Amino acid sequence: MSLKQKVKKSLFWTFSDQIVVQFANLFFGLFIARLLGPESFGIVGVVLMFTNFAQLFVDMGFGAAIVQNQQLTSQQYASVFWLNCIMASFIYLLLYFLSDFAALFFNQPILSSVIKVSSLTIILNATSIVQFNVLIKSLNFKKKVIINWGSLFLGYVTAIVMALNDYGVWAIVAMYLVNSIVQVFMVWVDSKWYPTLRFEMAVIRSIWHFGLPAFGDNVLNYWSRNFDNFIIGKCLGTTQLGIYSRAYSLMLLPVKNLSSVVSKVFFPAFSQRQDDLSILADNYLKLIKYIAVLTFPMLFGLSLVSKEFVLLFLGEKWLSMIPVLSILSIVGALQSIVTLNGVIYYSLGKTKIAFRISLLVNFVLLVSFFVGVQYGIKGVAWSYLLANILLFYPVYTTAISLLNLKISRIFTTLKSVIAATFAMAVGVYLIALILNVTLLHAFILKVSFGLFIYLWVLYQLEPKFIETVLLQIQMQIKRVRNEDN
């Protein structure tokens, strides 16, 4: 199978995965949130800040290095595997002994036991990092998708059963544990690669030049996405953090589940074609257009119907989330494009540039969050939006310049999508002024009317593009069915 065929098949499976994951996270996540309330999600939000950050130290950028480096052998993977396991064990012990301090710092006694139990996922996940990256490197996303679906649904079933039986925050903790256990079990049963009892420091040093800057960039990017959670959790409390983090996760669903589809598939593909900048640039322009066509109307639309969405699906106790979700959804639209910068930096081996850009981003975000928290979670959301607007030009132009692209060409590529999204926003705003119906009817009318305007304007501006997209989807579905048969 050619690289082009592998990419198309991988894109189909990854996109299918993200559609299923997005609907599962949305449906089950909203149901669990309605049962448990903001405080439980705030406590878990604090815990995830530490466990997800610790996970970066387990991987240390070597996962990306495995995908990017085409010369590594299966024997060399073993050294990375054992390093991951050693680091995971050390970090678990560190979090175990620091959990009491975290509970005192955030004034939440239950945090101590929740951190100790939740941190077990760090050790579990460490035993499957190499296997998952080997699958990504070979563009074998079908297996990865099956594993992901199995672990996701079993985790959610566990959480719902425990939430209905009043286990509170432990329902969410159990969900993450079950997810990790099932994922590790399935990947080890299905994997064709198993580690040998071999560890060579020379192997670690040979990929350290890529892994270390990638690790540094990941650390900085992580905190640029979590400084707000840390500051809110400390200054405003876990209930406010629960409201903010839930709004943030809803905004992040389209960003993660659409933009990351492209990142996961095209990072290994771009790495194999990293010497041909003209082809990479052309493909990149196509990618951002496909992403923007979906994320722009979804996120700007979510901003416009935030009131109806929150009250219908989450209830009155999440009322203060409405303005936060409305603001953060606009942030998500910008990030859906900017998040592909990582594909450019990593596939071209420019992780040092990515690290320097992350330093700038983190400094600006840190200052903005400290100012915004003085005005509550709504202030933090506004500061996040203003910081993203301020950073967009320098951050984005630095990345696309590596592909010999200019910002003017990006806007030319996206002009029809931007115009259709603007028309949709104006239409939904105007119809909202004259609506005098129930919440459910208002939600349905706004979504339907907005979608109609968006698709009609987009088709008027680029009929060939819409026809091509529909044709490619039909062809890809037929191709995958034929290959599987």
Range with the poorest average pLDDT among 24-28, 37-41, 453-457, 479-483: 479-483
Task: Write down the mean pLDDT value for the chain.
Answer: 82
Task: Report long-range pairs for 464-470 (Cβ below 8 Å, ≥24 apart).
Answer: 465/289, 465/416, 469/290, 469/293
Range with the poorest average pLDDT among 259-268, 347-356, 446-455: 259-268
Phi and psi torsions of 349, nearest 5° = 75, 25
pLDDT, tens only, 187-233: 887 777 777 777 777 666 666 665 566 666 677 777 777 888 889 99
- Which pLDDT score is estimated for 70? 58
pLDDT of 478 higher than 70: no
pLDDT of 448 higher than 90: yes
pLDDT, tens only, 81-99: 888 888 889 989 999 999 9
Please report which confidence band the pLDDT of residue 427 belongs to, taking 50, 70 and 90 as the band edges.
Answer: very high
pLDDT of 416 higher than 90: yes
Kindly state the DSSP code that residue 197 receives in the 8-state scheme: S
CA distance 189 to 167: 32
Rounded to an integer, the average pLDDT of 94-119 is 92
Please report which confidence band the pLDDT of residue 284 belongs to, taking 50, 70 and 90 as the band edges.
Answer: confident
Encode burial over 194-225: b for 16+ CB neighbours within 10 A, e otherwise: ebeeeeeeebbebbbebbbbbbbbbbbbbbbb
Report the half-sphere exposure of 257 (CA within 13 A, side-chain side). 21
pLDDT of 13 higher than 70: no
- Which pLDDT score is estimated for 61? 59
CA distance 64 to 343: 11
Q: Are 79 and 204 in contact (CB under 8 A)?
A: yes
- Which pLDDT score is estimated for 470? 75
Q: Count Cβ atoms below 10 Å from residue 394 Cβ, excluding itself.
A: 12
- Which pLDDT score is estimated for 351? 72
pLDDT of 391 higher than 80: yes
Rounded to an integer, the average pLDDT of 310-335 is 92
Find all residues with CB under 8 Å of 154, minimum gap 6, and list them.
178, 179, 182
pTM for this predicted structure:
0.77
pLDDT, tens only, 287-309: 888 889 888 999 999 999 999 99
Task: State the amino acid at position 387 in one-letter form.
Answer: A
- Which pLDDT score is estimated for 211? 55
